[in-house]
Chains A and B, each alone.
Chain A
Amino acid sequence: LSICSRTVEPLEYYRRFLKENCRPDGRELGEFRTTTVNIGKCLCSITTADGSALVKLGNTTVICGVKAELAAPAVDSANKGYIVPNVELPSLCAERFRSGPPGEEAQAASQFIADVIENSQMIVKEDLCIANGKLAWVLYCDIICLDYDGNLLDASVFALLAALKNVQLPLVTINEETGLSEVNLKQKNPLIIRKHPVATSFAIFDDTLLIVDPTAEEDDLATGTVTIVTDEEGRLCSVHKPGGSPLTGAKLQDCITRAITRHKEVKKLIDKVIKSITPK
């Protein structure tokens, strides 16, 4: 008589499901959890931010707030603004995170988001410049996880994209006589988003099986993870595989194909939500 308990032998428990090509929560190996997104001041709770979005991927909840401030551009890049992403994993989202300075996972996630913004060129820094050498926008993008159930990177990238699409920047002019900046809060323009990157994460089980959108439990049992970020033209913005089980080129190709399909699903969702909140 073999007793297989979820808490005593989690890996054996999972293997029984994977043999039947499904997972304990009823999903297929290539199926995502229900994705919901709330954008803007009415639906999303941050009223003080210039742009905000709340994304739920199953139980994983991530909120992103974008604040725009003015600053002088750097000396060596006088025509560029700044985008500063920061991912926070507060101790309320999961018991594994302690309060205090950001841990390795939060810092690695922040670096990943910064790389995605840079690689995909979703916002060109030259667009954030107001006056060459004198004034530019700084976009502080704070991504905070409220509930951690795996797949942080996908949810964060999605929240960032949704929040940036919602940002309205006031018109800023420089008064020639005084040299000071004048902010016109009545006239607002949306940010120019050139590309729409979407991340798709996979967990590698037992060196062979690839499952999409891992939960926190699956993430702990997995032997490796891969995250693929694609944009609307099918170009790869990022292949992020921080160690873990080795993969062949063919398996990676399967991941990329699934990522491209996922991109279309996410883009449709974002367009639908943006259209529903735009005043007609």
Chain B
Amino acid sequence: PAMISPLCISPGDTSVLAGLYGPAEAKISKELPDRAALEVLLRPKVGLPGVLERSREQQLRQTCEAVVLGVLHPRTAISLSLQVLSDAGSLLSCCLNAACMALLDAGLPLAALFCGVTCALQPDGTILLDPTTRQEQEARAILTFAIASSERKMLMATTKGSCSVEEMQQCLAAAQRAADAIFQFYRDSVRRCYSKS
């Protein structure tokens, strides 16, 4: 396990660079006696990280903690650094995908994979997946889910705007279907990356 940097690009040229360090020795103040301490740092493209980045870091960290088998590496620190290179919509799901690929590439033991899907509910009621910035602004509600690879359960959910309960369930179902395509993309990328060597 060393530093690696996969680049994650989603339709519309949103890209996030992820670097994972660990499991490395942890600072005594941060180490946990029974499992690895995970830390996520999210840097926006412009400006200093603010309250929104801290909120996203907490969501990403708890999502990663749910899948990483931290008990196999007690008293260590795993540090995930994400840098936003360009934002053209669906930023959080791009960060989630980058985080999962970083965990995969580093070879950390994982209970499941996860992927991020953003759904935009348009004013006329149709569901749009992976919206661009323009579509996000026009949408009534934007829902981002992290879907786990085992049984397609929902690991993380964030919503912006309000929607009815039925619409939320429809978006979740659409996200679970879209997750299949993303997991296939993970397999293809990893195969391509490691088939040369």
Partner of B157, one of A114, A240, A245, A248: A240
In the complex, the number of residue pairs spanning A and B with C-beta atoms less than 8 Å apart equals 106
Chain B residues, Cβ within 8 Å of A274:
none
**Chain B residues numbered 139-197 whose CB sits less than 8 Å from any CB in chain A:** 141, 143, 146, 148, 150-151, 153-165, 168-169, 172-173
Instruction: Say yes or no: A246 contacts B54, CB within 8 Å.
Output: no
Tell me the smallest distance from the CB of B71 to a CB of chain A, in Å: 13
Instruction: Say yes or no: B172 contacts A249, CB within 8 Å.
Output: yes
Chain A residues, Cβ within 8 Å of B63:
242-244
Q: Which B residue's beta carbon lies closest to that of A103?
A: B54
For the complex, give the distance between the alpha carbons of A256 and B159 in Å.
Answer: 14
**Chain B residues numbered 50-65 whose CB sits less than 8 Å from any CB in chain A:** 51-52, 54-55, 57-65
For the complex, give the distance between the alpha carbons of A240 and B63 in Å.
Answer: 12
Chain A residues, Cβ within 8 Å of B64:
243
Partner of B66, one of A108, A239, A244, A253: A244
Chain B residues, Cβ within 8 Å of A246:
66, 112, 148, 150-151, 153-155
Q: A243-B64, A244-B66, A249-B173 are in contact. Are A236 and B157 (CB under 8 A)?
A: no
Q: A249-B172, A253-B169 are in contact. Are A238 and B159 (CB under 8 A)?
A: yes
Instruction: Say yes or no: A240 contacts B158, CB within 8 Å.
Output: yes
Q: A115-B160, A119-B159, A236-B159 are in contact. Are A243 and B62 (CB under 8 A)?
A: yes
For the complex, give the distance between the alpha carbons of A252 and B143 in Å.
Answer: 14
For the complex, give the distance between the alpha carbons of A4 and B63 in Å.
Answer: 31
Q: A104-B54, A111-B55, A253-B165 are in contact. Are A241 and B66 (CB under 8 A)?
A: no
For the complex, give the distance between the alpha carbons of A256 and B164 in Å.
Answer: 11
Instruction: Say yes or no: B154 contacts A244, CB within 8 Å.
Output: no
Q: Which A residue's beta carbon lies closest to that of B155?
A: A246
Residues 220-242 of A, flagged 1 when their CB comes within 8 A of B and 0 if not, give 00011010000100111111111
Partner of A119, one of B59, B156, B161, B165: B161
Q: Which B residue's beta carbon lies closest to that of A120?
A: B162
Partner of B162, one of A107, A112, A237: A237
Q: A107-B55, A253-B165 are in contact. Are A243 and B155 (CB under 8 A)?
A: yes
Instruction: Say yes or no: A244 contacts B62, CB within 8 Å.
Output: yes
Tell me the smallest distance from the CB of B5 to a CB of chain A, in Å: 23
Tell me the smallest distance from the CB of B176 to a CB of chain A, in Å: 8
Tell me the smallest distance from the CB of B53 to a CB of chain A, in Å: 9
For the complex, give the distance between the alpha carbons of A247 and B169 in Å.
Answer: 13
For the complex, give the distance between the alpha carbons of A238 and B62 in Å.
Answer: 18
Q: Which A residue's beta carbon lies closest to that of B165?
A: A256
For the complex, give the distance between the alpha carbons of A111 and B42 in Å.
Answer: 15
For the complex, give the distance between the alpha carbons of A112 and B61 in Å.
Answer: 16
Instruction: Say yes or no: B162 contacts A119, CB within 8 Å.
Output: yes
Q: Which B residue's beta carbon lies closest to that of A246?
A: B153
For the complex, give the distance between the alpha carbons of A67 and B150 in Å.
Answer: 48
For the complex, give the distance between the alpha carbons of A114 and B112 in Å.
Answer: 32
Residues 73-88 of B, flagged 1 when their CB comes within 8 A of A and 0 if not, give 0000000000000000
Sample of 17 more A-B contacts, CB < 8 Å, known A236-B162, A242-B156 = A108-B55, A115-B160, A119-B141, A119-B160, A234-B165, A238-B159, A239-B143, A239-B168, A240-B157, A242-B58, A242-B62, A243-B59, A243-B62, A244-B63, A244-B155, A246-B66, A248-B154
Residues of A within 8 A of B (CB): 104-105, 107-108, 110-112, 114-115, 118-121, 223-224, 226, 231, 234-249, 252-253, 256
A-B contact pairs, 26 of them (CB 8 A): A104-B57, A107-B55, A108-B54, A108-B58, A111-B52, A111-B54, A114-B51, A119-B159, A120-B162, A223-B66, A226-B157, A235-B165, A236-B162, A239-B143, A240-B157, A241-B158, A242-B59, A243-B59, A243-B61, A243-B65, A245-B66, A246-B148, A249-B154, A252-B172, A253-B165, A253-B169
**Which 7 A-B residue pairs are closest in the complex by CB-CB distance?**
A243-B62, A246-B153, A243-B63, A111-B55, A107-B54, A242-B59, A241-B157
